[in-house]
Amino acid sequence: MAIVFALGAERALAAHNALLHISPWLSLLVAPAGFAAMSWLSRRFFRGTQGSGIPQAIAASHSDDPGVRVRFLSLRIAFAKIALTLGGLLCGASIGREGPSVQVGAAVMHSLADRRLGRIASSHNLIVAGAAAGLAAAFNTPLAGIMFAIEEMCRDHAFRANSTTLTAVIFAGLMSLSMLGNYTYFGRTLTALGWPGALWPTLACGVVGGFLGGAFCRLLIASSRGLPGRLGHFALDRPVAFAALCGLGTALVGLATGGLTSGTGYAESKAALEGIAPLPGYFFAAKMLVIWLAFASGIPGGLFAPALAVGAGVGAVLSHFLPAGPVAPLLVLGMVAFLSAMTQAPITSFVIVMEMTANHELLMPLMATSLIAHGISRSVSPLPLYDALAAAMLRRATAEAFSVPALRDDRQPLPGQ
């Protein structure tokens, strides 16, 4: 399902680009309408699909109540998550499919617990295994899938290396290999940084990326709890109209940047890594803005791929202030710094970036940058992003299960949006 999801995402992005080729001004109509439609569908019919999908998987793994788990993980939600995320990509939202793939994988594996196939594994282990397999298949990064299971899905309790998780990740990797071939997400970046020349790039990317990623993490957590002032009241009272407004803002930013900020950011990052099209200095800030607009609107969609694009933009800016040299390593270090700071999962972040670029020469700088960024981020945002969103979702789902009237009001903000 994750591989079919990936192929569908490519076609959705291609269709959006085809619309922009007809006329870039079409985005002013398509984006608001698309954001509104995805918001209405997710709120009206598929309540568990909003946002990234990783908080839902974490929340379900932390609950022992089958009624709460089914609110986040079911085959119905999995298929809806795929369809609504593809709809968001079609209308130009700055979202990714990797977080949704985690929820899809967790939902598929969790569904096995309800089948009369004997006791394959505990529900918790099935959820963790599915989440890891979803990430591994989405990025074609099996090691990162295992590290994600350890560092993100099992942050609050010890991870046991069980055959369920390992088998799921291995088969996800084999399926990806058989259907998509032996590819790396961003191709192969073979440039390296020698020592001690790598010291300043590592420190610069770690500190700047860590601060920006930590601040962005804090902003997303605060936004999930409600926006201030009249804008917050408008978002609560008219969420679909607010989503349309976010879509309009996304379209305007896309027009101002020549379409650079639409979609996942994968194409722009890959072109910059290959030296085909450098990223402009404003790219990282504009990309952060459209990511926030998609997040605040509550439409389904992930953060991983857009966050990597922001990191590449940070690295591109820092390359102008550091000694002359190849730019590609700085883009890679910027990616790992921002992702590590935003997710506060440093080991998963550097393993993902290392596998996506197939660059083992940068292993030590990647590790050091990721750890520095994580340390800076913790000082800016003490709460990890996905854990904070998952905790809020779990509280809401538990309260709704016990029919607490105050939390059943549809005007209440949905955690994780």
12 part of a folded domain: yes
Angle between helix axes 2-22 and 123-139 (nearest 10 degrees) is 40
DSSP string, 384-403: -HHHHHHHHHHHHHHHHHTT
Q: 221 with 141, same domain?
A: no
189 part of a folded domain: no
CB 353 within 8 A of CB 311: no
Q: 154 with 210, same domain?
A: no
CA end-to-end distance (rounded Å), the chain: 24
Q: 94 with 69, same domain?
A: yes
Which residues, in sequence order, are CB contacts of 268 under 8 Å at separation 6+? Answer: 260, 277, 279, 283, 309, 312
Residue 131's pLDDT is 87
Angle between helix axes 199-224 and 304-318 (nearest 10 degrees) is 140
Q: 40 with 175, same domain?
A: yes
22 part of a folded domain: yes
**Which of 184, 214, 246 is where one domain is finished?**
184
Instruction: Kindly give the confidence (pLDDT) of every residue in the chain, 417 residues in length, as a single tens digit, with 9 standing for 90 and above.
Output: 888 898 899 999 999 999 988 988 999 999 999 999 999 999 989 988 998 889 999 988 888 877 888 888 889 999 999 999 999 999 999 999 888 999 999 999 888 775 555 556 677 788 888 888 888 887 777 777 888 887 777 776 655 556 677 777 777 777 777 776 665 665 566 666 767 777 888 999 999 999 999 999 999 999 998 888 888 899 899 999 999 999 999 999 999 998 899 888 888 888 888 888 889 999 999 999 999 999 999 999 999 889 999 999 999 999 888 877 778 889 999 999 999 999 999 988 888 888 777 777 788 889 999 999 999 999 999 999 999 999 888 888 777 766 544 444 444 444 444
Report d(CA 393, CA 44) in Å as an integer: 17
Q: 83 with 224, same domain?
A: no
398 part of a folded domain: no
404 part of a folded domain: no
194 part of a folded domain: no
Q: 166 with 258, same domain?
A: no
Which strand (E) or helix (H) includes residue 270?
helix 266-273
**Structural domain count of the chain:** 2
Q: 172 with 263, same domain?
A: no
CATH code of residue 361? 1.10.3080.10
Q: 228 with 366, same domain?
A: yes
What length does the chain have? Answer: 417
Which residues, in sequence order, are CB contacts of 293 under 8 Å at separation 6+? Answer: 94, 246, 247, 249, 250, 253
399 part of a folded domain: no
Q: Of 341, 184, 338, whose CA–CA distance to 274 is shortest?
A: 184
191 part of a folded domain: no
User: 85: domain range?
Assistant: 2-184
Q: 175 with 226, same domain?
A: no
Return the amino acid letter for 177.
L
Q: 161 with 250, same domain?
A: no
CB 90 within 8 A of CB 10: no
Q: 173 with 209, same domain?
A: no
CB 103 within 8 A of CB 126: no
Q: 220 with 177, same domain?
A: no
